[in-house]
Amino acid sequence: MNEKETTSTLSGSLSTGKAESPRRSESPVNPTEKPTDAAEEETGPEYKREIHGIKWVLTVAAILSCVFLYALDTTVVADIQPNIIASLGEFQKFPWLATAYALPATALVLIQSKMYGIFDIKWLYFGYVVCFEVGSAISGGSPTMNSLIVGRMIAGVGGCGIYVGSLTFFSVVTTPKERPLYIALISPTWGLGTVLGPIVSLSPATA
């Protein structure tokens, strides 16, 4: 009798385990929904650029031209050093022409990046373009070395804002797929302006 009871108990437990095993494998999450959710997390929401056609071409050309002018002004004084020293004198202050222009790029880049995150990108970018042009005008019409250094410093502040604003503009306006292409256009534009700076400055100086 004991053997019969033990056999019946084992068979009953096995049947109960088989009946409960499908229930344990059940899950409230539909397995077909997991790839969809994972795909949405990887791709993220879809972005669409609002500017198209000729407006977008002119916008990109304007942004890159501002970067080109900022790079052009970096090396524009390379080949006209004798003319500047001959007309303004104060040779001991001449290294400040390059230092005053490049110093804002290291001192204000983080501040200007934060400002683009707070204020409107368009109007802040316009403000830096005006600042760059004002500094260039002061540098072009400066009667003394001190005023030329001040003009270069103002142009450097505006130029740094232009460069940071260009990166910010392409990062915000473009889609994730095309963003690397437009941001990559800034580097060759900068290199072209840096190379052509001495050539552009030498032609009116020798005329």
| Assigned superfamily of 53-206 | MFS general substrate transporter like domains (1.20.1250.20)
Q: How far is Cα 4 from Cα 11, in angstroms, rounded to an integer?
A: 11
List every span in the chain annotated with CATH 1.20.1250.20.
53-206
User: What pLDDT does residue 202 have?
Assistant: 67
Highest mean pLDDT among 67-81, 116-130, 139-153 belongs to 116-130
Q: What is the mean pLDDT of the chain?
A: 78
Closest CA to 197 of 75, 102, 70: 75
pTM of the model: 0.71
Helices (H), the chain: 2-25, 34-43, 53-72, 81-88, 96-107, 109-118, 121-140, 145-173, 179-184, 186-206
Q: What number is the average pLDDT over the span 140-167? A: 90
| Integer Cα distance of 86 and 205 in angstroms | 12
Residue 127 vs residue 47, higher pLDDT: 127
Using alpha carbons, select from 77, 83, 75, 84 the residue that is nearest to residue 196: 75
Alpha-carbon span 202 to 207, nearest angstrom: 9
